[in-house]
């Protein structure tokens, strides 16, 4: 019997977090759209999704930007789903609501409250069940996780690597750029995933290519530290581009060297080769699935280098230390993979 749900015209997909999270889920969203090509796919996301995806070709037809809701669109405690938001979403009469957001302890009640004819998604043992669900396991690659959810409602696994269209609006943000450009991105939202800025500088110096250093406004200090540690000139671009402009910049690069962070996923999605610095646990969940154009360098650090707190068990509590867990990845290893990709 086919898992495709009959008569589906309106689909809600919950994925309300950051750019890397969205890109990892993109093949799953595409699979859902392919199964229901005539249906309208509404992404229940965050404000940045709306600005980034409006007018961009892809499987998302519309974005509804959610306000802060604990466990749904923010990790902060104390934010309940506003009644008027739920009422507005229920009025849309979704035929299918899909949760590809997480284990479901907070997000499944939200999805069930939408009143959709059919619900599907992920579930941990402490989360309420949806109509169709698969078990959420911590150590599983995120893209494969969401493709499993898509399969619950008839979505077929046609592509596992996300692809993103760069638009003319994105490219209009860029000025003249040199040929053979390499980008380094030293930031990451979690400081434990940050390779030391001096290591990025050493790699950028020794590649012998024009270099641009990317980062958000909040990462300006990291970008500056990389630039000041280099012996060759580089172009620092902290907070200078929109997310679309950053995608266009990476499209122009021959290589992006980055931590495990959204911009590495963005570079890969626009077709640029990447070298990524990964902690072993994160490689399982968010590493590149192919190796021809993407090379992860892995730190096998099992515990906090400062206090010794365990990092491998999913139930381990995060320690208060913000030291790098990936500082043991050697410069020579990154240079070897970068040189191979550039050749």
pLDDT in tens, 143-156: 999 999 999 999 99
3-class DSSP state for residue 120? strand
Cβ(239)–Cβ(216) below 8 Å: yes
The reported pLDDT for the residue numbered 158 is 82
Tell me: do 50 and 92 sit in the same domain.
yes
Would the pLDDT of 315 be above 90?
A: no
Tell me: do 262 and 292 sit in the same domain.
yes
Question: From CA 235, how far away is CA 229, in angstroms rounded?
Answer: 13
Q: Last residue of a domain, which of 121, 152, 183?
A: 152
Burial of 248 (0-12, 13-18, 19+ CB in 10 A): buried
Tell me: do 143 and 173 sit in the same domain.
no
Tell me: do 147 and 179 sit in the same domain.
no
Tell me: do 88 and 209 sit in the same domain.
no
Task: With respect to residue 1, please indicate whether it lies within any of the assigned structural domains.
Answer: no
Would the pLDDT of 160 be above 90?
A: yes
3-class DSSP state for residue 119? strand
pLDDT 10s digits, 240-280: 999 999 999 999 999 999 999 999 999 999 999 999 999 99
Burial of 2 (0-12, 13-18, 19+ CB in 10 A): exposed
Would the pLDDT of 159 be above 90?
A: no
The reported pLDDT for the residue numbered 157 is 81
Q: Last residue of a domain, which of 123, 152, 181?
A: 152
What confidence category does residue 222 fall into, taking pLDDT thresholds of 50, 70 and 90? very high
The upper half-sphere exposure of residue 233, i.e. CA atoms within 13 Å in the direction of its Cβ, equals: 1
Task: With respect to residue 269, please indicate whether it lies within any of the assigned structural domains.
Answer: yes
Would the pLDDT of 1 be above 80?
A: no
Span 152-174, mean pLDDT?
94
Cβ(146)–Cβ(27) below 8 Å: yes
Span 68-85, mean pLDDT?
94
Tell me: do 336 and 189 sit in the same domain.
yes
Tell me: do 196 and 330 sit in the same domain.
yes
Task: With respect to residue 3, please indicate whether it lies within any of the assigned structural domains.
Answer: no
Task: With respect to residue 164, please indicate whether it lies within any of the assigned structural domains.
Answer: no
Tell me: do 146 and 23 sit in the same domain.
yes
Task: With respect to residue 157, please indicate whether it lies within any of the assigned structural domains.
Answer: no
Tell me: do 146 and 177 sit in the same domain.
no
Span 200-217, mean pLDDT?
97
Task: With respect to residue 2, please indicate whether it lies within any of the assigned structural domains.
Answer: no
Tell me: do 44 and 98 sit in the same domain.
yes
Strands (DSSP E) along 108-249, which ranges? 118-123, 132-135, 182-185, 211-215, 235-238
Q: Last residue of a domain, which of 152, 184, 212?
A: 152
Cβ(19)–Cβ(214) below 8 Å: no
282: which 2 tokens? 């994160």
Residue 270 is part of which domain span? 169-342
Mean pLDDT estimate for the chain: 96
Task: With respect to residue 5, please indicate whether it lies within any of the assigned structural domains.
Answer: no
Task: With respect to residue 113, please indicate whether it lies within any of the assigned structural domains.
Answer: yes
The reported pLDDT for the residue numbered 46 is 97
Tell me: do 87 and 215 sit in the same domain.
no
* Distant-in-sequence, close-in-space partners of 10: CB < 8 Å, separation ≥ 6: 39, 40, 42, 92, 93, 94, 95, 96
What confidence category does residue 332 fall into, taking pLDDT thresholds of 50, 70 and 90? very high
> Distance between alpha carbon 280 and the CA centroid of its chain, in Å?
17
Question: From CA 107, how far away is CA 70, in angstroms rounded?
Answer: 9
Number of independent structural domains in the chain:
2
Report the CATH number at residue 274: 3.40.50.2000
Would the pLDDT of 167 be above 90?
A: yes
Tell me: do 306 and 184 sit in the same domain.
yes
Phi, psi angles (nearest 5°) of residue 153: -115, 20
The predicted model scores a pTM of: 0.94
């Amino acid at each position: 019997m086919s898992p495709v749900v009959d008569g589906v015209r309106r689909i809600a997909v919950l994925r309300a977090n950051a750019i890397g999270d969205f890109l990892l889920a993109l093949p799953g969203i595409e699979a859902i759209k392919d199964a229901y090509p005539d249906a309208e796919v509404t992404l229940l996301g965050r404000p940045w999704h709306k600005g980034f995806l409006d007018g961009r070709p892809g499987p998302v037809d519309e974005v509804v930007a959610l306000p802060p809701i604990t466990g749904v669109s923010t990790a902060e405690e104390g934010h309940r789903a506003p009644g008027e938001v739920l009422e507005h979403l229920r009025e849309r009469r979704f035929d299918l609501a899909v949760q590809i957001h997480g284990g479901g302890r907070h997000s499944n009640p939200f999805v069930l409250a939408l009143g959709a004819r059919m619900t599907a998604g992920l579930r941990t043992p402490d989360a309420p069940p949806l109509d169709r669900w698969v078990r959420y396991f911590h150590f599983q690659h995120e893209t494969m996780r969401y493709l499993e959810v898509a399969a619950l409602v008839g979505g077929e696994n046609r592509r596992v690597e996300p692809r993103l269209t760069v638009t003319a609006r994105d490219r209009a943000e860029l000025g003249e750029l040199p040929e053979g450009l390499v980008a380094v991105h030293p930031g990451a939202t979690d400081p434990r995933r940050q390779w030391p800025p001096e290591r990025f500088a050493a790699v950028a110096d020794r590649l012998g290519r024009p270099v641009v250093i990317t980062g958000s406004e909040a990462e300006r200090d990291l970008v500056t530290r990389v630039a000041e540690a280099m012996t060759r000139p580089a172009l620092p671009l902290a907070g200078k581009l929109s997310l679309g402009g950053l995608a266009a910049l990476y499209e122009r690069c021959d290589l992006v060297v980055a931590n495990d962070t959204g911009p590495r996923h963005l570079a890969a999605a626009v077709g640029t080769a990447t070298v990524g610095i990964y902690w072993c646990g994160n490689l399982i969940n968010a590493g590149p699935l192919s190796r021809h154009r993407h090379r992860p360098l892995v730190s096998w650090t099992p515990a906090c280098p400062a206090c010794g707190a365990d990092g491998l068990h999913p139930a381990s509590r995060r320690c208060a230390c913000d030291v790098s867990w990936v500082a043991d990845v050697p410069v020579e290893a990154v240079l070897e993979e970068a040189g191979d990709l550039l050749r």
